[in-house]
Structure 1
Amino acid sequence: MSWLVDNREIIGLAVQSVTAMVWVVYLQLLLSNFRRERRSKILITRVAGGHEHGHLMVGNMGAEPIFVKAVLADLEVDGQTYHSIANDSGGFAPFTDDDPSRSIKGPLKSADYRDLGRISDLVKIAYDLADIPKSAHQIEAVVVTVLAESSRDGVLVAGRQCFDVYHGRGHMRFFPRNASTLQLRSFRKRRELARRMDEMLAQEAKAFLQGEDGKRPKRGADLGQIGRSEEARAEAEVAR
């Protein structure tokens, strides 16, 4: 007892240090769990079979909602990689004026999913938009990257899945290279994807501005066209 009394200050400091360490570890666990719960998780998978009629599905398995902004497609052709993008205007997921829910873009709540259309359509649109030489022979793989924006300060999130393409008996088969979707969370990778998406959108605008006749369209539209568009839409509603 006399030893405890003589060293009570040292023992008190030791107890306080141990208590502080326990609290630090506890707070670290709470912070890690909080960050893990808020971390986005995008699922990319095939449904309805792995053939060309199979569909591509994207799901939000994170705790917070996201907004799908674009689908990037990288085609591996004859050992070379060609970049492309799938969008509504390209025809990958066409929708009518009264059915915009078929767009590849849009919000996804937690545990919600969206049908992106047939995988073969994705490959076709990506092939048409990519700068692939006519001498190319076979598509060996397609890498699908879904870009989305989270509700947490507009942070860009992304998921990636690679499908190996096999040809046989006049059909294409798509087999996922990995069992799970790769989550792209590093700042460098997300900045690279954001820059690439901006470049793709700029190329799309440039292709439109060039025009089929070689003339550059003028900026702006006649206000009368807006009225005519509304009249045509009203006539279509009456015809139904």
Structure 2
Amino acid sequence: MVLIWVVYLQVFFTSFRRQRRPEIIISLGAGFGKQASWFVANLGLEPVFVVDIIVRFETASGIAEAIVTDRTEMSDKDLANPAEATNQGPLSSGSFMSIGNLETLLQRGNVEIGHASEIRGLTITVVAATAAQGMVVGASRHYRLQSSDDGDWYLLATKLHTEQIRGRAGRRDLARRLEDRLG
């Protein structure tokens, strides 16, 4: 009887932890090539607060990393609310937000690349805070640039799923990167 209760409690506890675990998805859509936009979605049951969005551009000449959280392509006159000037903020369960297309991410990050086709690949990392666990978590997805036969190009994800950064070492690395940015 005790063994049955221990197994039951283990199943209950595992299910409870899985439900409270954040699940951040990064996807590319709503267009093709330069016009495609990236979306960040929260598929966890608990809301998360998006702290930062980091983009790492891989080019033939090297690697450039930029924080693209703030929406610098919009002027103060275009904004009805100051919250529209950033992608930072709460993301409730089941909701999503657009973080922009390739050109806007390059502009926000002040990354000097002559032509978008110089980009070999890029990695988008979303850093978020959770109230339920009181820690930073993240998600990361890598894309590579692919040219088509007609000379056009498009971006392809290198993996089917977004990599979740929930482990102790990954969370510590995210926190260190944010602290380094503070000075």
Q: CA deviation at 1:138?
A: 2.4
Q: After alignment, is 168-177 or 179-188 more displaced?
A: 168-177
Task: Kindly indicate whether the alpha-carbon contact (under 8 Å) linking 2:64 and 2:111 is maintained by their aligned counterparts in 1.
Answer: no
Are 1:87 and 2:87 counterparts? no
* 8 Å CA contact 2:70, 2:108 repeated in 1: no
The counterpart of 2:106, out of the listed 116, 123, 128, is 123
Kindly provide the CA deviation profile for residues 196-229 of structure 1, in whole angstroms up to 9, marking residues without a partner as x: 1222343xxxxxxxxxxxxxxxxxxxxxxxxxxx
Residues 177-196 of structure 1 mapped to structure 2, 5 A cutoff: 177-196=158-177
Partner of 1:22: 4
Could you say if the C-alpha distance between residues 94 and 185 of structure 1 is closer, same or farther in structure 2, counting changes exceeding 3 Å?
Answer: farther
Range that drifts further, 112-121 or 62-71? 112-121
Structure number with higher relative contact order (C-alpha < 8 Å, ≥ 6 residues apart) = 2
- Structure 2 unaligned regions, length at least 5: none
For the pair shown, the structure with the greater C-alpha radius of gyration is: 1
Superposed CA deviations along residues 157-194 of structure 1, whole A, max 9, x for unmatched, are 11111111134666541111112111011111111111
Aligned to 1:16: none
Aligned residues of 1:76 and 1:82 also touching (Cα < 8 A): yes
Match of 1:175 in 2: 156
Change (3 A) 1:93 1:178: farther
Structure-2 change in CA distance of 1:68 and 1:81 (3 Å)? same
Structure 1: which amino acid aligns with 2:10?
Answer: Q
Match of 1:163 among 139, 143, 149: 143
What is the TM-score normalised by the length of structure 2?
A: 0.85
**Alignment coverage as a number of residue pairs:** 178
Note if 1:70 corresponds to 2:52: yes
Matches within 5 A, 1:223-238: none
Aligned alpha-carbon RMSD (Å): 2.5
Structure 1 contact 123–142 (Cα < 8 Å) conserved: no
CA shift, 1:97, in A, is: 4.6
Kept in 2, the 8 Å contact 1:56–1:117? The answer is yes
* 1:134-173 → structure 2 map (5 Å cutoff): 138-167=118-147, 171-173=152-154
Segments of 4+ in structure 1 off by > 6 A? none
More helix as a share of residues: 1
**Does structure 2 retain, via aligned residues, the 8 Å contact 1:85–1:200?**
no
Q: Which moved more, 1:31-40 or 1:175-184?
A: 175-184
